Structure 1
């Protein structure tokens, strides 16, 4: 008896196999096996050789072989053991479909002797197939409001490829308050399912219902299949379009270009079809300026910029929009779009000069308000915050007084003579990004005050005037400048009065034209009386109070040859005039007399030359060219006659030269008494000459000492600073200079000095210094002291010369 064993079989299946095997042995002679479908490869089916009554050892010799009858090669026999096992898994549904009995027939053939055995392997069903719906989703359409509760809608059932209890299906619907499931079975136990409506539908509330229908078979374990029921609620026009917000808030930058999208509105209509087709439009209540600025697309609901948005004009727009469907009658929904316009820095600051205090006096104190400046900017926030500035290095500053107002004030003292006006560029700049700015120029003129005294271009004017000038002749012109303007710069000239010489006022010598500064000589100058005229000219402006400045004028009188030599009569030195006695014994070079002459002029005009007027009549005598001494040229002889008469011509070196003549009578004597008398006379005259020499030496020493003293005093006075001199409110400068150098010919006195038999000394010249640096009144006093010493020196010299 063949036994079919399998671990996976239950007790009922084993009993069934035993019964089948016993029936086969008794009746048909066939072997039957039972095997669950989907058994794995190599699974044990039965001991085929033993069950067929064959020895395992004779399977090969008898050429044991097994043939499957057209259902596939699912089984195989092990010839060494005679065991039938699964060669490949068997799918009952594939082999037998829905047939209740599924078996695979096998034929076993052996030779020697030839025998054929029939083997049947029954394939038992297992629950390996879940119920399957024909589609994954079933769609149903139910009209809202028109379908009444209790209405039924058939559903398509599931299919299970298994058989028996494994294919018995039960259905279940997912929970729903609107739907329920009704399942019925016909006589063939085939079940059908229907969907029943329990509650009216509202498409706008729930347009689609998604339910799940589950089919469960009767196998163990149970398998299920699911289908989704898509229930669409059909629409009627019972809903108006609705915006998802009643108010939309949008921010837009001002100046946005035309066509810029503001917002895309989206209204929804819970209806469907043409009932949900919506058109958009501005409400009839929208004012014209909004329609000029914005436009709306009828179908898309896009609102775009149409015109110019200017924050400074309108910064907030409220737009009423309506949405209508295409129902009959159409229904409409409404919303409001609030467009907030954001400011951009598109406006430059504005500057306004609201008040002026011009011109500004140059003596105005710091802090004086010059102008009030107001600034404004139409933008807002940082774009509207404005700061003001002016260029640096100006004597002005901006002071913030209160909001949007600044004061332009004087920061430091100004000088009109240095800068007469200021062009101030005021710049206002906002704090936007990028910042914008505006500029405005303020012309600030500086008003003049009389703060400058007239000033001469040079401290000293030096002029040389020949004596004997024509009265009223123009000598020179002085000119002072005043950097002030108008009456503060109008200069008038006058002479600073002082005494000259013997208490004669300066105004008696010269006059100054008050407007032009021309200086005229009022009388002829006489060099022999006045060599230097030094005076001051004052320049005074017309301001209030007036200021003045002084300048020193050094007028040097130049000598002209207007004095002829004056000859002293011969013998005037002896007390009475008479002929000169000449001894006949006098040898060559014997001085017999001297012609004395003096010229009141100076320099070359006073340098005298002596000569015999008629050289042929001089005989044995000659005259010294510059000394005037008459001496013998040879030893005298009786042939020379008892007397000689010489006409001596004395002339100066002026241009033209002036001259004088002196007649000298010479008597030749032989008497020793006469000679002795003459000798006594000469000795007597030599005594005075000796005294004259001593006096001359004393005079020379005195003059030299005084000259050295003058130099020392002058140097001391130059090294000692003098006080400033103010003329009125201004300061006058008195400076001495010269056109001829640092030492100039100023005062010269000509004296004829005769020393014994020596050469006469002419033209003792005394020089006074000129000053090239500026000096005040102290310098003037120094000059006066020096000049006083020079005058004293001149007087001493004159006294010495007179005494000689």
Structure 2
């Protein structure tokens, strides 16, 4: 819509009508408005919010804003009503010059989510600029001899308006000499001039004053004038004439100074000085042309002397005059049109209009991250720009509008993999060679809570000695969270459960921040051997994530329980064990058995028995089994022995320090007829009861073999795994395996579900088991074990600390189960006797061996361990060797022997170890007669069997 802008009521009505009928259209994704220039502040342009489909209430929350590149604040939006209005004076000529089209391009940007709209406001021209000549007065010279129709060129006026408002009409003040020549149709040549219609006579009219008026086509019309002073010169008959009245040349931009543009040429028919021509630019030439070009006054060559920029000016019009050197110089005129050719000399420009950073790692695909504007001042292919993004990034560029790109999320993000992207956008034009520019932006990926805290391993094994101080630190758990900030802030807590009748939190606690686990109270191995619980690690994210780790806390045993004597079964006399023994019994007769248990485990529960020598008494005819507690005779009784013997038995465990208990046994020597028959019946009944358990022991042996095989296989696999996990110069060095057990000692552990039985002192199990463990290197020397006559035996050395026990083997610790003599026992009329010896401390000799103790008090003789020294095969006694079961993959041997209940003890079956002969010599020196010497030999054999 076009209209003229005036100041009267009619003009105001036209303006109101224009504003009411202001058109806008959505084309190629943009709005279009139009307004006249020079309207007042606050003039209505359009309801931009309504036209864009936006609610008025969301303009402020969504950060509605309008940006106009290089246009200042000409237009503004009222955020209350969404109306676009004129904010300051708009001058179309200042804004767009003489361009036929003049528009203000607005970028409307709203966030949350990010949207961009493009609005074009066309500025209509009004006739607010009058035509203007370059000067208010112009001096012209003409010879009086000029013929009629001689043309005097004039520089036309210029009008800053466009269209009809710039359509100029010229008129000349009335005179008799000159008429006005109108401009031609050629837009490049203005063609305005004066035509001589009457011959001149300088003497009659030396000067002529004319007024040239120009009127534009606007409404209302605006005019401009210039005064013409024409001076009539004396005759110089011929004026210079140019070859062409119009010269056209094409000149590339950015040519260096001194470049020849064109050479103009004029000729004069006169001779001498009247024919010499001097070239110059017309006085009406614009200052811009004078700053860019220079003409040689002699040759007529036009040179470049300034910076030629196509983006500044696309063409130049140069008016050249040629004057001769006559006394009254005459001139000729021509025009030179210089068309500037574009070269690719402008690098594309990039600008980030809007950034939505940081971006969360769970942002959906297709989200717009940034808006990028690109531009190039060149024309044609040189100004066509394409954009590319850094490869291998989860983003892409999408062309949304002319010279606008959106940076869009193209694939999923993971902050834990990459937390920051350095994006480089490259804009390249279509010139040859092409120019490019880059712009970089750092896109930070914001964290979301998508990673749970993780522990280094699913479970930990912790060893804690019992009777720990309350509040002691036993372990520290640590979990790592791959997230950041509060999402990676890990806190720890117990997974509550019941331990027996008490809550787990009464035993242990965990520090919420450090993960340190504390024992709140002293732990008792006899109460809890294994405390298994879980610790939970949770982060501070929303929603929180967590994971658990299992802690197996093994409570290691300490020697804090002294041996406990079991109540005697017969002859209870004030807590003492009262036994009747016939005078006629021989050496080796089992009188009774002292029974004791220890609540501890392992060596702390391995009991030994010693017979204390009462002060002032003679050597007692009785002895006690070192590990069985069986009291037996060392020789045949004679009349010198007191008829009533009081024996004090010391029961001692192998802990450090050792704890002890004492038992009193009253032995009465009686004649053969005075022994109650009930004792014999009890023995017979016990023997029958033992025979009934033979089948049970067979099943027990099979179970032990199976479990031992499984255990050895597990240990081999575990050792192979540990060796393969630790590279040591191509080989795996042997090392002590880490075993999960609840004792500080032991080399391998096993457990079995066992059936316990209560044995009387007279009975004997039919089946006995010996388990031989593999030999281990030991650097400690063996001490000689002195021979004793029954009072005490030397304490065995501390077992190898690699020995382990299983908690299930102490299941019957508190039951009335007696500990048999080491080795395989056979029952006979004289009571049980030993076939295999017990061995004291280790010895460095290859022939030496080691018998490991039973794994707890109250465990019967079906579970003994025998360890041979290096290179020493199993030694057997003179009697029959027991059957052997070899566990595959392990050097352990399971030996089983069954004997009939009525078999007799063959003393030749005893095996002696160590310095047997030396012990015999020492005893021989103590006896003087041969009869006594024979008795000592028998006793020595019996004592050696105990060792």
Deviation at 1:685, TM superposition (A): 2.8
CA contact (8 A) 2:239 2:331 kept: yes
Residue 484 of structure 1 is matched in structure 2 by: 483
650 and 750 in structure 1: CA distance in 2 versus 1, 3 angstrom threshold: farther
State the shift of 1:251 in Å.
1.6
- Residue pair 2:555, 2:742 contacting (<8 A) in 1 also: no
Contact 1:601 1:750 in 2 (8 A): no
**Which shows bigger deviation, 515-524 or 398-407?**
515-524
Partner deviation per Cα, 1:469-520 (whole Å, 9 max, x = no partner): 2222222221222222222222222111111223x22112112222222222
1:565 to 2:563 alignment: yes
Do the aligned residues in 1 keep the contact of 2:598 with 2:813 (CA within 8 Å)?
no
Deviations 1:264-294 (A, max 9, x none): 1112234444333211111111122221111
- Report the equivalent of 2:523: 525
Deviates more, 1:488-497 or 1:530-539: 488-497
Find the counterpart in structure 2 of residue 667 from structure 1: 668
Query: 1:87-126, aligned counterparts within 5 Å?
Result: none
2:537–2:548: 8 Å Cα contact kept in structure 1?
yes
CA distance change for structure 1 residues 710 and 548 in 2, over 3 Å: closer, same or farther? farther
Alpha-carbon distance in 2 for matches of 1:643, 1:311? 139
Give me the CA root mean square deviation: 3.6
Q: Which residue of 1 aligns with 2:343?
A: 344
Contact 2:809–2:859 (8 Å) recurs in 1: no
| Cα deviation, residue 610, structure 1 | 1.2
Partner residue in 1 for 2:550: 552
Deviations, residues 553-583 of structure 1 (Å, cap 9, x unaligned): 1111111111001112444598996522222
CA contact (8 A) 1:707 1:793 kept: no
1:8-27 matched pairs, under 5 angstroms: none
SS in 2 for 1:336: strand
Partner of 1:418: 417
Once the two structures are TM-superposed, the CA of residue 620 in structure 1 deviates from its matched residue by 2.4
Change (3 A) 1:618 1:285: farther
Question: Secondary structure of the residue that 1:579 maps to in structure 2?
Answer: strand
8 Å CA contact 2:758, 2:816 repeated in 1: no
Shift of 1:258: 1.0
Residues 478, 523 of structure 1: CA spacing in aligned structure 2 closer, same or farther, 3 A cutoff?
Answer: same
Query: What does 1:232-271 correspond to in 2, within 5 Å?
Result: 238-271=237-270
User: In the alignment, which residue of structure 1 is the partner of 2:474?
Assistant: 475
The 1:384–1:411 alpha-carbon spacing in structure 2 relative to 1, beyond 3 Å, is: same
1:432-471 equivalences under 5 Å are 432-471=431-470
Aligned to 2:590: 591
Which residue does 2:650 correspond to in 1? Answer: 649
Label 1:703 to 1:251 Cα distance change in 2 as closer, same or farther (>3 A). Answer: farther
**Aligned partners of 1:602 and 1:763 also within 8 Å:** no
Distance 2:659 2:816 in 1: 27
CA contact (8 A) 2:595 2:816 kept: no
Alpha-carbon deviation of 1:298? 0.5
SS of residue paired to 2:455: coil
CA contact (8 A) 1:454 1:547 kept: yes
Q: Does structure 1 conserve the Cα–Cα contact (< 8 Å) formed by 2:278 and 2:298?
A: yes
Cα distance in structure 1, aligned partners of 2:454 and 2:381: 57
SS of match in other structure, 1:639: coil
Q: Distance in 1 between matches of 2:705 and 2:553?
A: 23
Distance between the aligned counterparts of 1:432 and 1:403, measured in 2? 18
The residue number in structure 2 matching 1:321 is 320
**In the alignment, structure 1 residue 294 sits paired with structure 2 residue 296:** no
Is residue 751–residue 809 contact of structure 2 (8 Å, CA) maintained in 1? no
- Contact kept, 8 Å, 1:569 with 1:662, in 2: the verdict is no
* CA-to-aligned-CA distance 1:352-380 (integer Å, 9 cap, x gap): 11100111010001111111111111222
1:512 matched to which residue of 2?
510
Distance 1:798 1:570 in 2: 15
Task: Give unmatched runs, 5+ long, in structure 1.
Answer: 1-144, 146-235, 716-738, 765-789
Q: Distance in 2 between matches of 1:683 and 1:596?
A: 21
Q: 1:275 maps to what in 2?
A: 274
Please give the secondary structure, in 2, of the residue aligned with 1:415: coil
**Structure 2 residues without counterparts, runs of 5 or longer:** 1-144, 146-234, 714-735, 744-749, 772-805, 818-857, 861-947
Is the 8 Å Cα contact of residues 751 and 808 (structure 2) preserved in structure 1? no
Equivalent pair of 2:571/2:577 in contact (CA under 8 Å): no
Q: Distance in 1 between matches of 2:298 and 2:859?
A: 142
Taking a change above 3 Å as real, the CA distance of residues 742 and 473 of structure 1, as seen in their structure-2 partners, is closer
Q: Structure 1 residues 543, 740: CA separation in 2 closer, same or farther (over 3 Å shift)? A: farther
The alpha-carbon deviation at position 763 of structure 1 amounts to 14
Shift of 1:318: 1.3
Using the TM superposition, give the Cα deviation of residue 606 of structure 1 relative to its aligned residue in structure 2, in angstroms: 0.6
What is aligned with 1:120?
Answer: none
What aligned pairs does 1:48-63 form with structure 2 within 5 A after superposition? none
Question: What is the alpha-carbon distance in structure 2 between the residues aligned to residue 617 and residue 441 of structure 1?
Answer: 107
CA contact (8 A) 1:706 1:793 kept: no
Change (3 A) 1:341 1:270: same
Match of 2:330 in 1: 331
Contact 1:375–1:428 under 8 Å retained in 2: yes
> Kindly tell me: are residues 803 and 711 of structure 1, through their superposed partners in 2, closer, same or farther at Cα, counting changes over 3 Å?
closer
Following superposition, the deviation at residue 530 of structure 1 comes to 0.8
CA distance in 2, matches of 1:379, 1:509: 82
Specify whether residues 445 and 663 from structure 1 end up closer, same or farther in structure 2 by C-alpha distance, changes over 3 A only: same
Tell me what 2:360 maps to. Answer: 361
Distance 2:358 2:766 in 1: 79
Task: Give me the whole-angstrom Cα distance separating, in 2, the residues matched to 1:363 and 1:753.
Answer: 68
Q: Distance in 1 between matches of 2:613 and 2:816?
A: 35
Contact 2:266 2:322 in 1 (8 A): yes
Change over 3 Å in CA distance of 1:623–1:321 after alignment to 2: same
How far, CA to CA, are the matches of 1:607 and 1:796 in structure 2? 14
Query: Alignment partner of 2:411: what SS?
Result: coil
| In 1: Cα distance, 2:300 partner to 2:276 partner | 12
**Structure 1 residues 578 and 566, CA, compared in 2 at 3 Å: closer, same or farther?**
closer
State the partner residue of 1:720: none
CA distance in 2, matches of 1:657, 1:760: 32
Counterpart-to-counterpart distance in 2, 1:568 and 1:432 = 108
Q: Is the 8 A contact 2:530 2:742 kept in 1?
A: no
CA distance in 2, matches of 1:473, 1:534: 18
Structure 2 CA distance, aligned partners of 1:323 and 1:617?
Answer: 163
Q: CA deviation at 1:402?
A: 1.2
Deviation, 1:710, is 13
Distance in 2 separating the partners of 1:280 and 1:655: 128
The answer to whether the 8 Å contact 1:753/1:760 transfers is: no
Answer yes or no: is the 8 Å Cα contact 1:317–1:339 preserved in 2. Answer: yes
Contact 2:583 2:672 in 1 (8 A): no
CA–CA separation in structure 2 for the residues paired with 1:326 and 1:512: 113
Q: 1:743 to 1:509 in 2, by over 3 A?
A: closer
Q: Determine helix, strand or coil for the equivalent of 1:488.
A: helix
Alignment CA distance shift 1:797-1:652 (3 Å): closer
Write out aligned runs for 1:537-548 (5 A): 537-548=535-546
Q: Residues 356 and 689 of structure 1: is their aligned pair in 2 closer, same or farther, counting only changes over 3 Å?
A: farther
Equivalences, count: 516
- In 1: Cα distance, 2:261 partner to 2:651 partner: 127
Residues 326-373 of structure 1 show CA distances to partners (whole Å, capped at 9, x for unaligned) of 234222111121212222222211111110011101000111111111
Q: Distance in 2 between matches of 1:330 and 1:578?
A: 164
Partners in 1 of 2:663 and 2:289 — Cα distance? 132
Q: 1:423 to 1:364 in 2, by over 3 A?
A: same
* Structure 1 residue 699: Cα displacement: 6.7
* TM-score when normalising by structure 2: 0.50
Which stretch of structure 1 is more off in the superposition, 681-690 or 755-764?
Answer: 755-764
Equivalence for 2:167? none
Query: 1:749, 1:763 within 8 Å by CA — same for their partners in 2?
Result: no
